[in-house]
């Protein structure tokens, strides 16, 4: 189902988001104050305009409240990002995503009511650190607070210690296996007696501390 998105700021991240949304056959409006950035991507988007994202009147004229979601990635200054976020909320944008440049910027965006705040440097830093610390961690999603979903590769060391899901020694209230991927097969409801094999991909949900303790078995 095609949806409509507006991307304000066509830097590296903004243009990447815009092009991927177009690849998925959505309608995408690209907005930037830099003519070169707009011209470089205009032919690949549904629409592209040169406009000052910190100009409230210019944003109102774009009808941003009619889009399914708006993503703001303004790298010129934090002030411009804040003003654009404020105006977007006042215009009545349905779903607002904003890229944060620092922890303080993230706090301010939260105060302004941004629905989703993307902090790529922080998120990537966490991913790299976890992958370096626990090489078997393939991917993870932060659900907020201390809750995570992680995908872990079952190493030979782990399988030697734990032949089944039950032997993993997990407590459901702290962490549990919610799915096992084995080749092209996906078991969404593994039972306690389900046997484990090396190279299985365990999809787990739980508290960070419990997941880290489990990571020591890998």
CATH of residue 48: 3.40.50.720
pLDDT of residue 149: 87
The answer to whether residues 10 and 37 touch, using CB atoms and an 8 Å cutoff, is yes
Distance CA 132, CA 142 (A): 17
Query: For the domain that residue 156 is a member of, what is the CATH number?
Result: 3.30.70.1450
Beta bridge partners of 96: 70
Q: What is the C-alpha to C-alpha distance for residues 161 and 58, in angstroms, rounded to an integer?
A: 62
* Structural contact between residues 151 and 139, judged by C-beta atoms closer than 8 angstroms: yes
Q: Are residues 13 and 79 in the same domain?
A: yes
What's the token pair of residue 94? 């349905």
Check: CB of residue 66 under 8 Å from CB of residue 95.
no
**Together in a domain, 29 and 51:** yes
Instruction: Check: pTM over 0.85? Answer yes or no.
Output: no
pLDDT of residue 59: 92
Q: 126 is written with which tokens? A: 């966490």
Domain boundaries, position 136 = 126-215
Q: Looking at residue 131, what is its pLDDT?
A: 59
Is residue 30 domain-shared with residue 88, that is, in the same domain? yes
Q: In Å, how far from its chain's centre is CA 88?
A: 21
pLDDT at 120: 78
> Cα(66)–Cα(173) distance, rounded to whole angstroms?
42
Q: Compute the radius of gyration of the chain from its Cα atoms.
A: 22
**88 contacts: CB under 8 Å, gap ≥ 6:** 8, 59, 64, 70, 72, 96
Contact 22, 46 (CB under 8 A): yes
Beta-carbon count within 10 A of 160 CB? 9
- 214 near 170, Cβ under 8 Å? yes
Can you tell me which residue has the tokens 């305009």? Answer: 49
The reply to whether 103 and 131 lie within a common domain is no
10-residue mean pLDDT profile of the chain (218 residues): values are: 93 93 95 95 96 92 95 90 95 95 91 90 66 66 80 87 87 85 89 90 86 73
Check whether residue 106 and residue 154 sit in a common domain. Answer: no
């Amino acid at each position: 189902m095609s949806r409509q998105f507006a991307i304000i700021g066509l830097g590296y991240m903004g243009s990447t988001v815009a092009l991927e949304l177009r690849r998925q056959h959505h309608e995408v409006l690209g907005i930037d104050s830099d003519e070169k950035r707009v011209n470089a991507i205009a032919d690949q988007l549904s629409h592209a305009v040169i406009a000052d994202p910190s100009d409230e009147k210019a944003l109102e004229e774009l009808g941003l409240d009619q889009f399914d979601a708006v993503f703001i990635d303004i790298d010129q200054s934090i002030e411009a990002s804040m003003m654009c976020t404020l105006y977007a909320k006042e215009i009545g944008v349905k779903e607002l995503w904003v890229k944060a440049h620092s922890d303080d910027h993230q706090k301010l965006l939260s105060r302004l009511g941004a629905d989703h705040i993307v902090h790529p440097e922080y998120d990537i830093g966490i991913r790299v650190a976890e992958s370096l610390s626990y090489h078997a961690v393939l991917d993870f999603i932060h659900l907020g607070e201390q809750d995570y979903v992680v995908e872990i590769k079952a190493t030979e060391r782990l399988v030697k210690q734990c032949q089944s899901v039950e032997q993993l020694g997990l407590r459901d209230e702290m962490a549990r296996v919610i799915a096992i991927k084995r080749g092209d097969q996906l078991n969404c409801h593994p039972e306690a007696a389900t046997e484990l094999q090396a190279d299985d991909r365990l999809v787990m949900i739980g508290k960070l501390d419990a997941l880290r303790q489990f990571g020591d078995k890998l």
